[in-house]
Structure 1
Amino acid sequence: MANHPPDDKQPTVSSSAEPSTPASRSPFERSRFGGSQRKPNRASDDAPVSRSDLSKGLAELVEQPKAQVNWAILLISSSIILAFSLWTMLMPEGARVAMKIMVDWIGANLGWYYVLTMALIIGFVVWVALSKEGGVRLGPDHSRPQYKLGTWVAMLFAAGVGIDLLFFSVTGPVVNYLQPPTGEGASAGALQDAVVWTMFHYGIAGWSVYALLGMAMGYFAYRWDMPLSIRAALYPLLGKRARGPLGDGISIVALVGTVFGVATTMGIGVVLLNVGFARIFGLEQGLILQIALVGGAVVLTIVATTSGVDRGIRWISELNLWSAVAMMIYILVAGQTAFLLGALVENIGQFLVTLPSRMLRTLVYEPNSSQWMSGWTLFFWAFWLAWGPFVGVFLARISRGRTLREFVIAAITVPVLCDFIIVSFFGNSALFEVLAGNNEFAQLAATNPEQGWYALLDTFPGAMVLICLATFSGLLFYLTSANSGAMVMSNFSATIPNPAEDGPKWLRIFWALLTAMLTIAMLLAGGVVTMEYATLIFALPVTIIAYLVMASFHKALRMERAEREGLVLRRASQAPSGGHLPARSWKQRLAQMLAYPTLREVSQFLERTVRPALDDIAVEFRREGYEVERANVANATGIEGPLIRVTLDELRAFHYQVSIVETPVPTFSGKMSIDTDVYYRLEVFTQTGSGGYDLMGLTKQQVIDDVLERYEAHLAFLALSAQTDTPSVLTPPVASSD
């Protein structure tokens, strides 16, 4: 339940009065909600049917208030990964052949399913961003972002982009120019589409998956105090069952998919960095150097992840962004500047124009197209789905206080544009070499991508400087993915009530080591190709999670819409001032604008005016037969604010809380405070956060009027919810009077 005081921490509640015995509803309520004929119909394991039910999520999903390892998830998922790793190590050829057979079957029979799934995900996240619910925050209504915009965007980019982007930015355009999915190779049409295909695979689709899972998990974690996990995002569909074997099974699927996605990135990374380190330090290329790089990366990952998001990962993310910028500037200035800029503009335009047709393209009319689909589009779609849970958790972790609209738009624009610049600059530089007749480079880029990438760097002036810069940038891409992955894997295999906390350090080390073992196993079984096979196979069950998350989040957003619409269904004549703040005299208004109360002044007003007003209202409600709770809630100031909660059977309770909020003194006011930089306000909080107005300076009667206005708005909200016949939207259906 999102009724946090301003410090965004769980309040400590001390009851000042026992609730009375519930009685029958007033005639007004019976006419709206069915009166005593309404009976609770939600069993303990049923899915939530109202926002009031959502507030029970923390209690139903978490048994212990402290973080603890979920041994069932840890043992089962690690056993699956360990068994697969041993299989590929002991029987590398057999494992590769078996996976190739499965991938061929998926490409021939389920390609349409992957394509349709990705198209629906894109449509869903765009709908959320453009809908009225896009203004809902990942947290209480009064919450605000933790990170500055620049830092946040850098962390978005670094967490969701891996070293694989560098790997495919050269080989993708070259291969799709020489061997396009349709038409003749090395033709004008193939040239126009070569870079665009890679931009398509690294564009809006992958970031839509991240946005879907990130905003869903962040919404339930920060707005409803549930754990930051997939099972919490499915609570509106599964109810308490999300904590049992069903929820464990879903978490295992997400965790295993995440491990394979990260291992694939690590494998591609060491294959690429293997060439760079050999070039820079004169080492011998091969499996031994690749394994050594995996080991070194594990050590650095352990150091970074144990320092947490705000230190190690944040520092690497920002350094990663700046190194990538430096590399792009170098390529642009030292390369074919006019050609690269012109190609970038044309590539983006071609991408935007052809996106709808590409998005639903299955190549069903092209003979023998399933192999191309499996190796390119389906692999990337599976790759993003496998990465989705872990990147989604990380993005949610750094996005508390952002609105859904801001989160989605940022995720599918800024990082995507960065991807486009990298793909276009590298891809068009490679195509320029191919068009100039460098056939040796073309063959190398198509058959040996890691060698082709460094061969392209050799064509620039000051090649060794660029090689060092590119290798360093690639290493940072690699580390950010590994760091984020280890942290999120530990979170998936633990039950953590507080979304701000991470899994135990030893658990992060365990997953870093196990992922490294899986990476080495797949390198032994065939390298990058085997990793692509494994990703495509293990991402298939993750698609089911994506559909469940969309259904669950859509249900929650319908609840948000019903509440918002219900708040305006009150008669204007019943609103003292047409807004939330009761009518005040002009002297009261002026005094409030010119005054900056101290904590002592606000505390005295709270005791003399606000608390007695709420006490009187509680007494009157009890006299009318309502079940009322009058409690006191502590916040960061240490002063308990009054809370009144009126229970309405299975309907959502009325919640009115007053809390002291520390606020900076404005620098543009007509009267400046010379004693302090802050002053204090008495703000009203509902279940979804602050109402945004101050009670300081009102009379006792005006405070009572404000409570009644809020209560009337709450009744209007419940009236709207009772107009629906379906129990899956907001509330159980009104029982028949028969």
Structure 2
Amino acid sequence: MQESPDPSGNEKRPTQPIERSKFGGTDHAHDTRRHKRGEELLPPVSSRELGEAQRELEKDFQGRPTRKSHVNWPVFIISSIVILAFSLWAIFKPDAASNTMADVVAWGSANLGWIFVVTTTAVILFVLWVAFSKEGQVRLGPDHSRPQYKLFTWVAMLFAAGVGIDMLFYSVTGPISQYYSPPMEVPESPAAARDAVIWTMFHYGIAGWSMYALLGMAMGYFAYRWGMPLSIRAALYPLIGKRIKGAPGDVIDIFALVGTVMGVATSMGIGVVLLAIGFATLFGLEAGLALQIGLVLVAVLVTIAATSSGVDKGVRIISELNLWAAAALVLYIVVTGKTSFLLHALVENVGEFVWTLPERHLQTMAYEQDGSEWMASWTLFFWAFWLAWGPFVGVFLARISRGRTIREFVIAAITVPVLCDIVIISVFGNSGLAEVFAGNTEFAELAQDSPEQGFYSLLEMFPGSTFLIALATFSGLLFYLTSANSGAMVMSNFSSFIPDPAEDGAKWLRVFWSLLTAVLTIAMLIAGGVTTMEYATLIFALPVTVIAWLVMASFLKALRMERAEREGRNKYRRSQAAGGGYAPERSWRQRVSGLRSYPSKKSVTSYIERTVVPALTDVTNEFREQGYAAELSYVPDTDSGVERPTFTVHVSGERNFLYQVVAVSTPIPTFGGRTPTDETNTYFRLEVFTHTGSEGYNLMGITKQQLIDDVLDRYEAHLMFLGHSSDADASSFVTPAVDPDTTT
């Protein structure tokens, strides 16, 4: 016999496990099965086991419960050594580094390029399937959660998070290069001209944003719906279980962190090459390595200054400015340039892009002469770039998307920013091609040989070029600083253990990673500039492809658990439809009274003391007398100031039963029984919360007996859910629950 603590302050009562019910107490068969499967190592196979993840991940590496953030020293030290060693090699042996990476990339593109192509295609299909499945309605958070940011602000932050200054860099050189050196068409032909802009659109299209959506929705789902840390390793808990706290989890974080640093450094490197030309043009400076290094140091200083600004203050303002600046830049080009040609070309580009999208995504250039070289320089580089940026952007998107449904998140991520990218690339790319068609061969050569100079050379051809160059430089600077600041924040998170997904890594970590990223950026500039950055991205992004596949497998397993829970609830609702479903059935007088009732905080507090607490106390005592491990506790609520009475039944080896009564502040409607009479314009509802949030009905006004009946109805529903979940998810496609002792 064991004692269970009673947080309400009552005397401890003896608790006996129930032998006769599978879900009412200790299930020895289940415990034996888990023991044989290796409980400390194997991953969860159902939602009841996934529900234990939060408690496990809150423990430190000695198994002691903790909610404190701390540095993950193995990940921090190993990642730092790898990046620092690579940087020093590039600084002191630039030629050797450049040549070695070129050889590795040549071999990799010829032999492993198909891996990037298959991975990106699989990611696109997977996120679309998730978005349009029934699980697409699941929220990144509890069922009652709602978005934190307004739609425009959220879209602006999506755009700024996933689009870097590199898009401006390639928006002119990409189409012109594809026109003169197309992968499949005859050079300088009408077919090559039509295809030139489409290839750049394709490289900045749905593939990168699908990768961001995959990692963002997976990390956001596990962080905000299951209370896990906001990290890649937490998103793999359904797949590898408690191993994520050991070496496997560290390896995953190291790959994600190193890939992120490489991706951000590449974007910063391309950015400073482009911005140096802009500043040199505006202020008469020399656009050399010294100016580029100076811009890198500016990014470090801004990141250090912004360490206390947070997502809410800093990035939100920069994101909205970024969107307006980019829109103004594009509009100016359209209005002052060849308006008719640009608009006609945009319509044709969009149609061709959509029509040829499936074919391009599976194109490996297997039958083209020098196809592997072209793929390495263009498609594979961009796929590797998006893979390297995936963990970084995924964390940021998850942070700003709490409360949104998976469907809303995915559709917004792969449509709105992609449309913005398409418009920007079409306007700049076709403006550059128009000059080429007019016979400006000098500009064409400059755009291919020196893309950063080609971009600003194009801007100089428009009226008011000084203003246009200043606007483009300002827009690029915003892209550049957003990437640097957000990147440092994500790197500090990846190198830390942070139980609370709302928190970030230590400020000194952000400063450290911004400095180390700056060193890496300068090293690659010394070793060969943009070309070296492309090589490094291709090499270090390859392990991230493995992470992408693991995340898809893990998230698929979690969604199967969500489906089992939903089907179990629907089955219970059908069986209880005649009795009123979940909400307790009220008398007609209670219903009429409720129409005119808008209780205050004082009223709900009194009702909790007079009705809710006595009812839950009686239920708790009765459950304990029957041998259940039941407890009644009171959880502080900082939002309402009203404590939450919480009735819990601990179910051994299963997901615990939770019945929590929460006072929810709600605006008083301006229609109905009466209008608000005080200045607050709000009243309080008493809603039932479970593991996944509010169940949506109000308990105020029901009797003690009706409340007890509601608790018992919900407990019976919970048992039905556990039974259905056990039947549906006792095994999965990833981790079948096979007894190793009986396997031959």
Please indicate the TM-score interval, normalised by the length of the shorter structure: over 0.9
Q: Give runs of aligned pairs for residues 458-477 of structure 1, distance below 5 A.
A: 458-477=460-479
Counting matched residue pairs gives 724
What is the aligned counterpart of 1:52 among 48, 54, 59? Answer: 48
CA deviation map 1:489-547 (0-9, x unaligned): 11111111111111111111111111011001000000000000000000000111111
Give the AA of the match of 2:676. S
Provide the residue aligned with 1:673 in structure 2: 676
CA deviation map 1:340-399 (0-9, x unaligned): 111111111111111111111111111220000000000000000000001101111111
CA contact (8 A) 2:126 2:552 kept: yes
Deviation at 1:572, TM superposition (A): 4.6
Q: Give runs of aligned pairs for residues 423-502 of structure 1, distance below 5 A.
A: 423-502=425-504
CA contact (8 A) 1:724 1:733 kept: no
**Gap change, CA 1:731 and 1:142, over 3 Å in 2:** farther
CA contact (8 A) 1:304 1:313 kept: no
SS at match of 1:630: strand
Deviates more, 1:13-22 or 1:727-736: 727-736
CA contact (8 A) 1:568 1:713 kept: no
CA contact (8 A) 2:26 2:652 kept: no
CA contact (8 A) 2:553 2:734 kept: no
CA contact (8 A) 2:644 2:663 kept: yes
Instruction: Report the Cα distance in structure 2 between the residues aligned to 1:87 and 1:483, rounded to whole angstroms.
Output: 26
What is the aligned counterpart of 2:515 among 492, 513, 516? Answer: 513
Instruction: Report the Cα distance in structure 2 between the residues aligned to 1:732 and 1:698, rounded to whole angstroms.
Output: 46
Q: Give runs of aligned pairs for residues 59-98 of structure 1, distance below 5 A.
A: 59-62=55-58, 63=60, 64-98=66-100
Give the AA of the match of 2:33. N
Instruction: Report the Cα distance in structure 2 between the residues aligned to 1:467 and 1:293, rounded to whole angstroms.
Output: 17
Deviation at 1:261, TM superposition (A): 0.3
CA contact (8 A) 2:564 2:729 kept: no
CA deviation map 1:225-271 (0-9, x unaligned): 11111111111112221111211111011000000000000110011
Deviates more, 1:53-62 or 1:596-605: 53-62
CA deviation map 1:288-346 (0-9, x unaligned): 11111111121122222432111122211111111111101111111111211111111
Instruction: Report the Cα distance in structure 1 between the residues aligned to 2:663 and 2:11, rounded to whole angstroms.
Output: 21
Deviation at 1:647, TM superposition (A): 2.7
Q: Give runs of aligned pairs for residues 300-449 of structure 1, distance below 5 A.
A: 300-449=302-451
CA contact (8 A) 2:45 2:730 kept: no
Deviation at 1:139, TM superposition (A): 1.0
Provide the residue aligned with 1:716 in structure 2: 720
Provide the residue aligned with 1:114 in structure 2: 116
Provide the residue aligned with 1:278 in structure 2: 280
CA deviation map 1:34-59 (0-9, x unaligned): 97644353312321223232233233
CA contact (8 A) 2:239 2:734 kept: no
Instruction: Report the Cα distance in structure 2 between the residues aligned to 1:390 and 1:684, rounded to whole angstroms.
Output: 37
CA contact (8 A) 1:139 1:400 kept: yes
SS at match of 1:363: coil
What is the aligned counterpart of 1:605 among 600, 604, 607? Answer: 607
Deviates more, 1:624-633 or 1:379-388: 624-633
Provide the residue aligned with 2:18 in structure 1: 24
**Gap change, CA 1:14 and 1:298, over 3 Å in 2:** farther
Instruction: Report the Cα distance in structure 1 between the residues aligned to 2:143 and 2:9, rounded to whole angstroms.
Output: 25
Provide the residue aligned with 1:632 in structure 2: 634
Provide the residue aligned with 2:174 in structure 1: 172
Give the AA of the match of 2:384. A
Deviation at 1:630, TM superposition (A): 2.0
Instruction: Report the Cα distance in structure 2 between the residues aligned to 1:607 and 1:26, rounded to whole angstroms.
Output: 35
Q: Which runs of 5+ in 1 are unaligned?
A: 1-11
CA deviation map 1:681-717 (0-9, x unaligned): 1110111111011100111221122112212221221
Deviation at 1:624, TM superposition (A): 2.8
Instruction: Report the Cα distance in structure 2 between the residues aligned to 1:472 and 1:389, rounded to whole angstroms.
Output: 27
**Gap change, CA 1:537 and 1:13, over 3 Å in 2:** farther
Deviates more, 1:589-598 or 1:689-698: 589-598
**Gap change, CA 1:252 and 1:17, over 3 Å in 2:** farther
Aligned: 1:655 with 2:658: yes
**Gap change, CA 1:382 and 1:674, over 3 Å in 2:** same
SS at match of 2:631: strand
Give the AA of the match of 1:673. P
Aligned: 1:686 with 2:678: no
Deviates more, 1:40-49 or 1:334-343: 40-49
Give the AA of the match of 1:250. I
CA contact (8 A) 2:636 2:642 kept: yes
CA contact (8 A) 2:46 2:726 kept: no
CA contact (8 A) 1:33 1:734 kept: no
Q: Which runs of 5+ in 2 are unaligned?
A: 1-5, 61-65
Deviation at 1:452, TM superposition (A): 0.6
CA deviation map 1:636-682 (0-9, x unaligned): 23332222222332122221111111112123334112123111111
Aligned: 1:39 with 2:31: yes
Give the AA of the match of 2:15. T
Give the AA of the match of 1:428. N
CA contact (8 A) 1:266 1:478 kept: yes
Instruction: Report the Cα distance in structure 2 between the residues aligned to 1:112 and 1:716, rounded to whole angstroms.
Output: 46
Give the AA of the match of 2:16. P
TM normalised by structure 2 equals 0.94
SS at match of 1:570: helix
Deviation at 1:729, TM superposition (A): 7.7
CA contact (8 A) 1:158 1:321 kept: yes
**Gap change, CA 1:298 and 1:573, over 3 Å in 2:** closer
Deviation at 1:13, TM superposition (A): 6.2
SS at match of 2:141: coil
Instruction: Report the Cα distance in structure 2 between the residues aligned to 1:354 and 1:103, rounded to whole angstroms.
Output: 28
Provide the residue aligned with 1:700 in structure 2: 704
CA contact (8 A) 1:125 1:212 kept: yes
**Gap change, CA 1:481 and 1:16, over 3 Å in 2:** farther
CA deviation map 1:65-112 (0-9, x unaligned): 211111211111111111001101111011000000000011100111
**Gap change, CA 1:177 and 1:695, over 3 Å in 2:** same
Deviation at 1:731, TM superposition (A): 11
Instruction: Report the Cα distance in structure 2 between the residues aligned to 1:606 and 1:247, rounded to whole angstroms.
Output: 44
Provide the residue aligned with 2:649 in structure 1: 646
Instruction: Report the Cα distance in structure 2 between the residues aligned to 1:367 and 1:44, rounded to whole angstroms.
Output: 53
**Percent identical across equivalent pairs?**
63
Give the AA of the match of 1:220. F
CA contact (8 A) 2:18 2:25 kept: no
Give the AA of the match of 2:31. K
CA deviation map 1:124-163 (0-9, x unaligned): 1111110111111111111111111111111111011100
Deviates more, 1:189-198 or 1:64-73: 64-73
Instruction: Report the Cα distance in structure 1 between the residues aligned to 2:144 and 2:306, rounded to whole angstroms.
Output: 32
Deviation at 1:571, TM superposition (A): 6.8
CA deviation map 1:6-56 (0-9, x unaligned): xxxxxx9656564643343557x58x9997644353312321223232233
Instruction: Report the Cα distance in structure 1 between the residues aligned to 2:479 and 2:593, rounded to whole angstroms.
Output: 56
Instruction: Report the Cα distance in structure 1 between the residues aligned to 2:237 and 2:157, rounded to whole angstroms.
Output: 28
Instruction: Report the Cα distance in structure 2 between the residues aligned to 1:112 and 1:733, rounded to whole angstroms.
Output: 33
Instruction: Report the Cα distance in structure 2 between the residues aligned to 1:571 and 1:688, rounded to whole angstroms.
Output: 17
SS at match of 2:306: helix
TM normalised by structure 1 equals 0.95
**Gap change, CA 1:718 and 1:52, over 3 Å in 2:** closer
Instruction: Report the Cα distance in structure 1 between the residues aligned to 2:688 and 2:654, rounded to whole angstroms.
Output: 21
Give the AA of the match of 2:568. G
Provide the residue aligned with 2:3 in structure 1: none
Alpha-carbon RMSD across the aligned residues, in angstroms, is 2.2
